Amino acid sequence: GNSVTQMEGPVTLSEEAFLTINCTYTATGYPSLFWYVQYPGEGLQLLLKATKADDKGSNKGFEATYRKETTSFHLEKGSVQVSDSAVYFCALLTGGGNKLTFGTGTQLKVEL
């Protein structure tokens, strides 16, 4: 079956530090890959996505590249801000359906 593995949190960084949150996946076929973000008290929001190998998704300074050879979709940001503090979920979607498979989420805390 499909599965997503994320690095455990919490991840605590100082403002302007470089961020990497690792995500690897197992899937049949060729999944689409997503990063969702959940700010405190809010619903999950789609942060970025990539639908085929070597695609790079980007939004709000975050980037992730779909690496088929390593089955990975690591999230990166060059300089984090306090406002980036949230829980980040990696997810995949296969087969043209609507069933998302999520990782367990990684909490990011950014301090001044």
Partner 1 sequence: SAVISQKPSRDICQRGTSLTIQCQVDSQVTMMFWYRQQPGQSLTLIATANQGSEATYESGFVIDKFPISRPNLTFSTLTVSNMSPEDSSIYLCSAADRPHTDTQYFGPGTRLTVL
Task: Write out the residues near partner 1 by the rule CB under 8 A.
Answer: 4, 32, 34, 36, 41-46, 49, 51, 89, 93, 96-105
Smallest gap, in angstroms, from Cβ of residue 32 to partner 1? 5
| Identity of the residue, 17 or 22, whose beta carbon is nearer to partner 1 in the bound complex | 22
Smallest gap, in angstroms, from Cβ of residue 95 to partner 1? 9
Smallest gap, in angstroms, from Cβ of residue 12 to partner 1? 18
Q: Which residues have CB under 8 Å from 89's CB, separation 6+?
A: 6, 35, 36, 37, 38, 44, 102, 103, 105, 106
Amino acid at position 92, single letter: L
| Identity of the residue, 19 or 32, whose beta carbon is nearer to partner 1 in the bound complex | 32
Smallest gap, in angstroms, from Cβ of residue 59 to partner 1? 13
| Identity of the residue, 65 or 102, whose beta carbon is nearer to partner 1 in the bound complex | 102
| Identity of the residue, 46 or 53, whose beta carbon is nearer to partner 1 in the bound complex | 46
* Residue carrying the six token digits 């990497």: 20
Beta strand segments in the chain, E = 3-6, 11-14, 19-21, 23-26, 32-38, 44-50, 56-59, 62-65, 75-77, 86-93, 100-102, 106-111
